[in-house]
Amino acid sequence: MTDSLQKSIFEHEKIGFDANSIKQSLSNCLTYSVGKDTITATDRDRFFAAAYLVRNRLIDRWMETMRSYYINDVKRIYYFSLEFLMGRTLMNSVHNLGFDQQFREALNELGINLDSVREIEPDAALGNGGLGRLAACFLDSMATLDLPGYGYGIRYEYGMFAQRIEDGRQVEHPDNWLRYGNPWEFPRPEVLYQVKFHGRAVQYPDEQGVAHYHWIDTDDVMAMAFDTPIPGYGTHTVNNMRLWSAKATRDFELRYFNEGNYVKAVEDKNDSENLSKVLYPDDTTTMGRELRLKQQYFFVCASLHDILYRYNKYQSNFDALPDKVAIQLNDTHPAIAIPELMRVLVDLHHLDWEKAWDITTRTFAYTNHTLMPEALETWTVALFESVLPRHLQIIYEINRRFLKDVMHRYPGDTGILRRMSIIDESGEKRIRMAHLAIVGSHKVNGVAQIHTELMKQTIFSDFDVFFPGKIINITNGITPRRWLNQANRRLAELITSRIGSGWVKDLSQLKQLIPLVDDASFRKEFAAVKRADKERLVAMLKQKLNIDISPDSLFDVQIKRIHEYKRQLLNVLHVVTLYNRIRHNPNAEYVSRTVIFGGKAAPGYVKAKLIIKLINDIADIVNNDPQVSSYLKVVFMPNYDVSAAEEMIPAADLSEQISTAGTEASGTGNMKLALNGALTIGTLDGANIEIGGEVGENNIFIFGLTAAEVAKTKANGYQPWDFYHANPELRAVLDMIGSGFFSPDEPDRFKPIVDALLQHGDQYLLLADYASYIDCQRKVEAAYQDQEEWVRKAILNVANMSKFSSDRTIMQYASQIWDAKPVASRTMEASEIG
């Protein structure tokens, strides 16, 4: 090969976005990166070649972006999250880089089936649910808005688990998503930080007699960085997600190898590296709880040291840290970062406490994601003392100083001291991580208007009074790039054909669709898109589950983590109610309905797993009853993940958002479904309220008690038996479930579910909301029968979802919390970085 030809090829590798350049790049990547030719290549080889092709087009922009941050000495945003539910990367990157048409054209000309190649890519198993997907949306928006944002988390080798349904039950299998490698990540073996555990803290005086602390006799683990480029849409900005993988220290290995104890050396190496093996180890055991705490400290310790290394390249002291660094804590999981930064500033750099605390609190901000006291993370003091002894001392000192301020404000009020203390002393002493996060941050935000107001009125009311203005609302959002432009190409292309493509980056432009509600041709095209999406899902369900469903039926979809407060069980009660009505009056007219569930239950969550079994047992009866199955089908989609969501959401007609009012912080599934033209049935909970305010009360189905009514009902002594006796349909449904109608092989199988409702107080008020829910579902059926009007409502849902773009959310964070500005990238020589 001549030098000029080689130079030409490599130039195409860098900048070529036309079909010919893409074909040449694909051939080069297949040969030189994968090591295959066109004869021996498999679909997996072609996927890797395509991924390297796309990655190569990201690298120049990525490096240019990083250089621009250095040359401009910008304030950087660091998003700390234990989860990043990224989904597949190939087509997301292609769409964001803006060459999807050329990419498809090039692959077609080479005889490569893009759909086959795309399906090879596994979902990155770095998250479980809404928390992790929110983090992924935020990274997309930060890059799209040219904000200097970094994601920090853990590179889980196995993720949570792959869910299979065997005999109707959830069975967990390892989710080995890295089995064949990950073409999107760059290992950084040179970026390595020591993370300490256990040991003890010893005090020593300095030359002036000031007490300092050493953390000694520790067990050490190394954190190694893996970087993934995050491209923005319609911009040259490509940000970075840095994940940490645990590696054993050489000291561990050499000590035992030198002693001849090879087995012990290998055991210790495995124990060390377990830290990044699996997302959310089972915390029902002491060992599982310790591992989870270690995971949290592991990633924040490495991340903070990495941040400070970057900061110290240009700064001689820590005075400017809050002006150059903003750290957002995504829930309480990373809250241990607060005492860790204090440890670094006070113990390692010998700043006085007051100055270190001022720097720390101005650097951190905290996002709360739950209103339920039982879901707020706490750790026993005993576990902290064992795993992080120096941090326990620092937390006690933070608490001592904080409570002194509280006491000065409220002298003699021991009740408020007890409520606001970071240490809960009501039983076994526990550290309240949410309290630590609030005290140690300059801003705290809720994620929906009702959520934030309830935070201020209930669980954190004392803090809201003590820190006026600290708790603010920033309603969650979703990225339209992933959840419409990529997931629903038919609808995206229809919208673009009428209003242009500007909506992809500015979702407010969707409001231009409102006048098109009166355009009969647009309504017809919109309905055709929904029909095609439903037919695609029908084909997928036939292939995966061998179930036949009609695309003419109403697709009633509830896809989210399986949890009692999300009330999949209320949906089940409605299904059985419909089943009974059809059986008892088979000649009446019914709206054909397909009820689709998807979601995982935590491995140790027995009740949630039993609900999954109940759904599948009911499906087995309903779907095989010839008298009923033409009107009603029930489907449980196994292993619900981002890729499954991209198939299911565009096809949905009805979006089930039915949590007990006051329990769902926000929800983002409700936004994704509405953005794709599904109508919401839901309670006045989370972001449902704001969605209703945007789309109009005539275009959403609201039922049930409000949060205030829920609180009042409980305060007045809620009696679920009253509802059971007063409602014959409800009584029949519960009796069927409890007596074994759906489980004849084991009649008592679902008795615990019924007992939880009737004998143990119905914690989430399903029976109180049952009649309202059933009545609301009748309204849904009446509306669905008028297809012209239903399509109008669906279009208005899509057109009025601009508020729920994660771009708007991130702009609010940037202006109200981070004080960060967009940065335009420019090319710069590597030598300038220093």
Instruction: Report the C-alpha gap between 41 and 48 in whole angstroms.
Output: 10
Helix, strand, coil content of the chain in percent (nearest 5): 55, 15, 30
Q: What torsion do the CA atoms of 757, 761, 764, 765 make, to the nearest 10 degrees?
A: 80
Q: Are 418 and 462 within 8 A, CB to CB? A: no
82 contacts 128 by C-beta, under 8 angstroms: no
DSSP assignment of 721-758: HHHHHH-HHHHHHHHHHHHTTT-TTSTTTTHHHHHHHH
What are phi and psi for residue 293, nearest 5 degrees?
-65, -40
Q: Tokens 């406490």, residue?
A: 353
- CB burial of residue 306 (10 Å; 0-12, 13-18, 19+): buried
Residue 244: DSSP 8-state: E
Amino acid at 831: S
Specify whether the CB–CB gap between 249 and 261 falls below 8 A: no
Tokens (6 digits) for 168 = 């109707």
d(Cα 495, Cα 547) in Å, to the nearest integer? 32
CA dihedral 741, 743, 746, 752 (to 10 degrees): -80
Dihedral angle of Cα 609, 615, 621, 623, to the nearest 10 degrees:
-130
Angstrom distance (rounded) from CA 672 to CA 695 = 14
Give me the torsion for CA of 526, 527, 530, 534, rounded to 10°. -160
DSSP string covering 216-256: ES-EEEEEEEEEEEEEPSSSS-EEEEEEEEEEE-HHHHHHH
User: How many Å apart are CA 773 and CA 416, to the nearest integer?
Assistant: 40
3-state DSSP call for residue 163? strand
CA 662 remoteness from chain centre: 20
Contact of 78 with 328, CB cutoff 8 Å: yes
Instruction: Show which residues are catalytic.
Output: 369, 560-561, 566, 668, 672
Q: Label the pairing between strands 211-216 and 200-205.
A: antiparallel
Helix intervals (H) in 313-363: 321-324, 337-343, 353-363
